[in-house]
Amino acid sequence: MIDLNKNYDVIVVGGGHNGLICATYLAKSGRKVLVVEANQSLGGASATSEFSDRFSVSSCAHWLFQLNPDVASDMGLNKQGLEFAARDLNTIALAEDGNHLIIDGTSLRVQQYLMKIALLLLPLISKYLSSLSCCLARLTAERRNWSRVISLIVSPWLS
């Protein structure tokens, strides 16, 4: 319910999953937050609704199992009874010419892990590359003193 006498710091228009996540973190950081939603229930396109007797489905978010577990935990969703019926589901985008795009759910998870590892390595690699370019500049200056250059290349990894 909207309390008209209360001063809100933030008004989030729309209680879809993005609005709800923003509202949660803003409230956790101490802001007074009001979420306004035009529909009868929250969730937007990720809301689950019953389309036939005892059969429910998310309107759009068929990949909801990819929800970041940290976000789910911060929002207390597990305590609220969130359970995924399945994980690592495949998905398909149908094409008129029959050349459908099929994305395998397991390989998607592997890709996400690889992406995380790549992001962790990125600062290390960029530090190494900048040392390397520095070494190459020195190589020119030191007239191909290879043993010195190799020690310069290896030194960032030993420090």
Ligand X SMILES: Cc1cc2nc3c(=O)[nH]c(=O)nc-3n(C[C@H](O)[C@H](O)[C@H](O)COP(=O)(O)OP(=O)(O)OC[C@H]3O[C@@H](n4cnc5c(N)ncnc54)[C@H](O)[C@@H]3O)c2cc1C
The H or E element containing residue 12 is strand 10-13
Residues 32, 137: Cα–Cα separation, whole Å: 56
Residue with tokens 């789910």: 72
Q: Are strands 101-103 and 55-58 parallel, antiparallel or unpaired?
A: unpaired
Please, what is the minimum distance in Å from the beta carbon of residue 69 to ligand X? 14
Among 26, 37, 72, 149, binds ligand X (CB under 6 A): 37
Closest-CB residue for ligand X? 16
Dihedral angle over CA of 80, 23, 61, 49, nearest 10: 60
Find the binder of ligand X among 12, 19, 75, 152 (CB under 6 A). 19
In whole angstroms, how close is the CB of 46 to ligand X at the nearest point?
5
- Out of 14, 26, 72, 108, the residue judged to bind ligand X by CB under 6 A: 14
Enumerate binding residues for ligand X (CB under 6 A).
13-19, 36-39, 44-46, 60-64
